[in-house]
Chain A
């Protein structure tokens, strides 16, 4: 028997039972669509996390004032800044550290002309641009001299630039940050969302001295809530971390057995945890969707078994006129396979369309990858074979005389 005849026969059987074929396929359609959609959402989330990690800066430590625990009890970090500018200088002096910047964070109202905008303000040093791997869109970052002199200069993020200046060139313009006038000397390149979902481009960066004198008007001169530091490479992260711990314990004169008054966080490690969490989430989504695919396969097997029973007489006729057992086996196997692959094709269309809708209407990041499409097709093929085989074998195993007698 010729192979194309098998497809002809299968196709004929499917179109003569259109409604049943459609309903049988529906399970596969929904399964494949669910797998494609779930993988698209999962992979979109992964891609977003990945780009957030890249935008954060690499090999990054964040050192916070205050301990996370004190005598076993959790306390709020950063209430009383214990870190100083000279701590940052000392950390920068460590062999495994490239750059370290003290950071004084806050929020403030910005005013330019008739527009105002509430944003986060970071007082820091030029090292900040290094540790965050943050290039300039236009203009330049402020200098160490600006920090020493407490210059009223500001570098703005892309969102602030857009909101306050629109199409105007911000460089050289004076903005008011909590009433204090600052000259915009640079615009940062856009980075997008951070891991915690904040827009990193909605920010203003000023010399830490100016921030403390003019904006936060705090009495914590020469002290910083945070120090951000970058290690020379990811292999030196552990060495750098223990170096920072030892250095700060020495500088802060913390004796053996006493709690630290600072907390060192390896942000890269945290980011990797976040990445693996999303990876697990996307695997989980895919697995749940895969279950519906298997259910779809069982639906095919169910209908194929009914179909074999209903068509017993037809099978008997075919055997009487010369169909061998393997011809009958192939006939039903190809029928199941055709069902699952057509279902898969429709499911792919729906899944990709659904992903597009989710991406465009709900604004979630989605990514339909060739790998997930290939996987869906491959799994559908296997399901067709796996769940088609048993009904096909029971059809092929029929006795021609018995089958001819069936009604």
Chain B
């Protein structure tokens, strides 16, 4: 668990440049903020505002050009790619807009996959995957492949996969982008529940206001900078 008094995520003057044909594109131009354990944060902004770049950096999928990023007090901006992989496996879960499940595998195998990279044996990881699937209400669908599931069910399998190694943080990138509004609210309900009951820190990227409304803090990006960072009263799950 996080050290009391210290934020779980702390970034200072975070910058990210991308080389382009016409020179250097500055996707992030100095972002400083911190997120405490148990927070539920919505990150908003138009496309090209830098929110996805920010998510990739927080999610340890990428390294910043300048600035520092401390995750649970540890500087991760200089870690090797294998160290980052281990960190993602242990501490971070991802939920994507397009679900990103492996189509030829059953729900159970999809959920068990991060546990395989954690070095868990076959029996143990299948058991744990089943438990997590039950937690998201899909205990009976463990032997279905993604193609046999509805969009909402697929996203719940993806959430189960993100939770499988019991990470501290889940990053969700437009998790309701491919879902109808009723299913979207069901999925958001599940997120709120996980945040409230399990204390999982949630960082949600979205451009839909009614989805962002589930969070208790709203951060808005524009042109690579934070232009708004306000607490809000979350809607009831």
Contacts and interface: CB of A to CB of B under 8 A. Distances in A.
Contacts of B81: 324-325
Interface in B44-72: 56, 59, 61-62
A4 B122 contact: yes
A79 interface: no
B179 interface: no
Contact of B88 (A8, A12, A16, A320): A320
A151 interface: no
B124 to A, nearest CB: 11
13 contacts: A1-B117, A314-B102, A317-B100, A320-B94, A321-B93, A322-B86, A322-B89, A322-B165, A323-B85, A324-B85, A324-B86, A401-B56, A401-B62
Contacts, number: 69
Nearest to A8: B122
Given A318-B113, A322-B90, A313 B100 contact: yes
Given A16-B104, A320-B94, A325 B119 contact: no
Interface string B108-134: 000001101111111000000000000
Interface string A1-42: 110110011001000100000000000000000000000000
B211 to A, nearest CB: 21
B125 to A, nearest CB: 9
Contact of B102 (A4, A8, A317, A325): A317
B105 interface: yes
B96 interface: yes
B116 A5 contact: yes
B86 A404 contact: no
Which of A4, A316, A322 neighbours the largest number of chain B CB atoms within 10 Å of its CB?
Answer: A322
A105 interface: no
Nearest to A17: B104
B140 interface: no
- The number of chain B residues touching the other chain, given as a range, is 20 to 34
Contacts of B56: 401
Contact of B117 (A12, A16, A314, A327): A327
Contact of A321 (B82, B120, B161): B161
A317 B111 CA distance: 12
Contacts of A324: 81-82, 85-86, 117
Given A5-B122, A404-B100, A322 B82 contact: no
B100 A323 contact: no
A130 to B, nearest CB: 73
A321 B90 CA distance: 9
A322 B85 contact: yes
Which of B56, B116, B121 neighbours the largest number of chain A CB atoms within 10 Å of its CB?
Answer: B116
Nearest to B90: A322
Contacts of A9: 116
A321 B114 contact: yes
B168 to A, nearest CB: 14
Contacts of B61: 319-320, 400-401, 404
Contacts of A325: 81-82, 85
Nearest to B91: A322
B82 A1 contact: no
Contacts of B86: 322, 324
A256 to B, nearest CB: 86
A305 B101 CA distance: 22
Contacts of B90: 322
Nearest to B52: A401
Contact of A322 (B104, B105, B114): B114
Contacts of A8: 122
Given A12-B104, A401-B56, A326 B82 contact: yes
A144 to B, nearest CB: 85
B34 to A, nearest CB: 24
Given A314-B102, A401-B56, A1 B85 contact: no
Contact of B119 (A1, A16, A317, A318): A1
Contact of A319 (B85, B104, B118, B121): B85
B105 A12 contact: yes
A147 B104 CA distance: 89
Given A12-B105, A400-B61, A401-B56, A321 B122 contact: no
Contacts of B82: 324-326
A118 to B, nearest CB: 72
A404 B100 CA distance: 8
A400 B94 CA distance: 13
Nearest to A397: B81
Contacts of B122: 4-5, 8
B119 A321 contact: no
B25 to A, nearest CB: 15
Nearest to A6: B116
Contacts of A12: 104-105
B117 to A, nearest CB: 4
Given A327-B117, A404-B100, 7 more contacts: A5-B122, A9-B116, A322-B118, A322-B165, A324-B81, A324-B117, A401-B61
